[in-house]
Amino acid sequence: MTRYLSIFLTFARACLVRDMTFRANFVLECVTSLGWMAMNLAFYLLVFTFTPEIGLGTGWTKEPFFAFVATGMIINSIVQALFMPSAEELTEMVRTGGLDGILVQPLDAQFLLSMHRVDFSAFANGLVGVGLLCWAIPRLPQPPHPVAILLYPLLIACGVAILYSLVIMLAAATIHLGRNQSLYDFWFYLTNFSRYPAEIYSGPWGGPLRALCTFVIPILLVVNVPARVIAQPLTEQGGMMVAGTVFAAGAALVISRWVFQAALSKYRSASS
């Protein structure tokens, strides 16, 4: 484990050196990303000029909702920084045969393929998320319970694990298909569901969608559960959601590992 951490830090260091080589590009990526976040926040502020709450009786008033948004920003920035660059590169590696060089190295291929690139500019959103959370927490209707504060980092990790598993399964599809340039698009569509409180998915269409995105592809657990724990009072139902999220994260990691290994065993390599 220490060795893998050490190797990851070496990768991260190399990526930072590279990012600093192209400083203008790095700054531009940070600015673009922050700009997009600023527009989202402005949109949510606009919404709250029309309504005091997202869904009557849901508890998602302005400050709790911004804690929700901050949680989403933190989780997404971790995934975007640590895993997405490698997953996106995998498509090209499979197509050109670059994956060959990874498979001959004495390390876990999934680790190498999913963590060899770090996009430091994506951490900018995470930092904004932390700032937003620090602004929202003192303004919540009820301060978070100490247990909630302890659970929050665990649930953030679970959210990251669920998203990571999805990335890995999409990457495995790349190995099967040989080319999967819609990987990022598909990722965007999927994670879009996780960006809003689960309560908005109700009614004849919303109910089944909510069930699908909770029990089949547990994308709704990613942000909703940690955000609910930190921003709303702890309840018995909330406790079950916490247990379900931990279970879903574990199951997602195991399933994605199996899918990825199966895909690697079918790898054909590109012609030289």
Question: Contact residues for other proteins (CB under 8 A)?
Answer: 3, 6-7, 10-11, 14, 17-18, 21-22, 96-98, 100-101, 103-107, 109, 265, 267-269, 271-272
With respect to other proteins, which residue has the nearer C-beta, 108 or 202? Answer: 108
Q: How far is the CB of 28 from other proteins (least distance, A)?
A: 16
Angle (nearest 5°) at CA 7 between 94 and 102: 20
| One-letter amino acid of 39 | M
Q: How far is the CB of 199 from other proteins (least distance, A)?
A: 41
With respect to other proteins, which residue has the nearer C-beta, 108 or 153? Answer: 108
For residues 118 and 114, what is the distance between their CA atoms, to the nearest angstrom? Answer: 10
Burial label for 165, CB within 10 Å (0-12, 13-18, 19+), is: buried
With respect to other proteins, which residue has the nearer C-beta, 17 or 46? Answer: 17
Burial label for 238, CB within 10 Å (0-12, 13-18, 19+), is: middle
Q: How far is the CB of 235 from other proteins (least distance, A)?
A: 47
With respect to other proteins, which residue has the nearer C-beta, 92 or 202? Answer: 92
For residues 187 and 179, what is the distance between their CA atoms, to the nearest angstrom? Answer: 15
Q: How far is the CB of 13 from other proteins (least distance, A)?
A: 8
With respect to other proteins, which residue has the nearer C-beta, 107 or 149? Answer: 107
Q: How far is the CB of 15 from other proteins (least distance, A)?
A: 9
For residues 109 and 99, what is the distance between their CA atoms, to the nearest angstrom? Answer: 9
Please name every residue paired with 53 in a beta bridge, in sequence order, or none if there are none: 61
